[in-house]
Chains A and B, each alone.
Chain A
Amino acid sequence: MDKLELFNKVAEVVKLNSVTKYKPISTLDMPWADTNLDSLDAIMMCVYLSEIYNVEEETSKEFVFTTPRELIDLVETNKTTEPESLDAAIAGIV
């Protein structure tokens, strides 16, 4: 699964109905501050991605990240499952 595409899809769910429509990012390596995702969005991104990859809540609570890739890597490292597809991943959080 393309991690950038997954990140953008999950971010769309997080930003649903928000003041500013989410603009997909083009690289996972940009600073978090440039993603248009605020600190509350960051918590939601972490919770949602951890849900998709079934990361223990106690583990994900300790995640510290400064870029989208760092978050994705933390989730990858601690995952206990792998979604079958992008659609299956999103279906798990909406």
Chain B
Amino acid sequence: MISLTHYKTACTENTELLDDISFPQRVNWFPETYARVASGVIYPPHVLANKVIDSELVTLLRETPSKKTAFILAAGNAHFAGIPREVTESRFKYKYKVLPLTLTQVYAGRIAQMCGATDYIVTDSTACASSLKVMMDVQTLIKMYGFTRVVVLSVEDAVSSTVLEFFGESKAILTAKEDDETLPSAFDSKNGKFHVGQGAVFAVFESDEGLQMSGFKPMAKLLGAYTAGEPCTNALGQLESGEGYVRAAQGAIDMAGLRNHQISTVKTHGTGTVSNNTAERTALHKLLPDGFIATSYKPTIGHTMGASGLLESALLVDELRRTGLVPAIKNRTESDEVFLSEPAPPMNNRFLSLAAGMGNVYSAAIFSVE
């Protein structure tokens, strides 16, 4: 078994309209992360990461025995917010002066040393699937290579000038103009699409042997994880058949040793775009014909990009432990028994978590809440 023993999340429901950029849009963000970027000594992804890197927990990890410990930085891109192109002048354009720390693997090395997680140190750059994709890596390291602890940090600065421009150009986000008539939501005929959001998550996973050594208490179990691609000619697109989602979810269900009918709660990727609504809805009805309930966090906290999969899974673990309810999809106007418009109790303590990333990558993980 693989246990989730600690997690800390950072995200916000607060939004602000950024109207002084080339593609005006509302974002879920922490303004302080950009307060002094012009100086070149403040780096927003690091400020964001510091919201979840708890010094007491880091010290505890260093001082608690573990046979083999790995560190994974799920950064979404090989270079933080890294689309290397010239962006329009705005208050979000900056030049960080400590160049080595803009390289995700260098930053990963620094944080891994802090955590005493030095037997294996890697980064992941599978776009918006990144943090959920590394659940497959956690599973592999623990089950195949005898690791007793894997520490995962996921952070990507979604509110960066490159991301704001990229999603503004691609019209995936709700623009300021659209915001007047449409609210972020998912699987809904009236409301849809998303705001970009800042977020980060720090999580610790341990094997059974690891738990015996550390004495840590499990908060959830990672039952199975899988990542898949799909044959799509458009690297920015998704097949309407939902094939990538089906492959990933079925892989995770198989890895967990479960049957499909034993999954009845889904944390969707749920971006609310037309293409994702179609692909993910189609896939879920194929996979879970006996019925299920599904939620999405992006309408509430924005799309936190690479961090979203694990961050949203941790939020659902939190919600289930606290209230015992699966939260509704914000701003959903339709009412059905599948895509939640009201919070609902789950049928059991398991849930399937999904994520997708540009470049035709899909990730799935199944958690059970202790």
Which residues does A use to contact B, with CB under 8 Å?
A: 17-19, 40, 43-44, 47-48, 51, 57, 92-93
In the assembly, what is the distance between CA of A44 and CA of B110, in Å? 13
Q: B33-73: which residues lie under 8 A (CB-CB) from chain A? A: 39-41, 50, 53, 55, 58, 62
Q: Are A51 and B98 in contact (CB under 8 A)?
A: no
Any A CB within 8 A of the CB of B78: no
In the assembly, what is the distance between CA of A19 and CA of B104, in Å? 19
- Give the residues in chain B near A19, CB-CB below 8 Å: 62, 113-114, 116
Any A CB within 8 A of the CB of B106: yes
Q: Majority SS of interface residues in chain B?
A: helix
Query: When the two chains form the complex, which single residue of A18, A40, A51, A93 contacts B106, counting CB atoms closer than 8 Å?
Result: A40
In the assembly, what is the distance between CA of A86 and CA of B114, in Å? 28
In the assembly, what is the distance between CA of A71 and CA of B116, in Å? 31
A-B CB contacts (within 8 Å), total count:
35
Any A CB within 8 A of the CB of B100: yes
Q: Are B39 and A92 in contact (CB under 8 A)?
A: yes
Count B-side interface residues using an 8 Å CB cutoff: 18
Which residues does B use to contact A, with CB under 8 Å?
A: 39-41, 50, 53, 55, 58, 62, 97-101, 106, 110, 113-114, 116
A39 to chain B, nearest CB (A): 9
In addition to A17-B114, A47-B97, 14 A-B residue pairs with Cβ atoms within 8 Å of each other are A19-B113, A19-B116, A40-B106, A43-B99, A43-B100, A44-B98, A47-B40, A47-B98, A51-B39, A51-B40, A51-B97, A57-B40, A57-B97, A93-B39
- Give the residues in chain B near A40, CB-CB below 8 Å: 100-101, 106, 110
Given contacts A19-B62, A19-B113, A40-B100, contact A47 B55 (CB under 8 A): no
Query: Sorted from nearest, which 8 A-B pairs have the closest CB atoms?
Result: A47-B97, A51-B41, A19-B113, A93-B41, A17-B55, A47-B98, A44-B98, A17-B114
Residue of B at shortest CB range from A57?
B97
- Give the residues in chain A near B41, CB-CB below 8 Å: 47-48, 51, 92-93
Q: Are B113 and A43 in contact (CB under 8 A)?
A: no
